[in-house]
Amino acid sequence: MAKVIGSVDFENEVKDGVVVVDFFAQWCAPCKMLAPIFQELGAELEEKANFIKVDVDQSPDIASKYSITNIPAMLIFKDGEKVDSMVGFSPKEIIKEKVEQYI
């Protein structure tokens, strides 16, 4: 299961390697559709990338910092720098292809 992190841990979690961050909310239907896909990819790519989640209602400061206005939104970080983003629901293959560009 992908770890849900908050403001305190965020910078530390994204500072090394490839990290995929799923910005979500409990009330968001497309976020719930994306959740099992995100979990599957996290398991498939666990040796190559870290998959974490940020609840925008619990950590609005992080969402604001990265201009997250629509969810679900995924950001890809490499060694602490944001390198890519995806907004809205995407099929597993599309997400995997995008993540693998940075591994």
**Residues marked as catalytic:** 28, 31
Task: Give yes or no for a contact between 39 and 32, defined as CB atoms under 8 angstroms apart.
Answer: no
Give the DSSP letter of residue 11: H
Taking the C-alpha atoms of residue 48 and residue 69, their distance in angstroms, rounded to an integer, is: 28
Q: How many helices (H) and strands (E) does the chain have?
A: 4, 5
**Strand intervals (E) in the chain:** 3-4, 18-24, 49-55, 73-78, 81-87
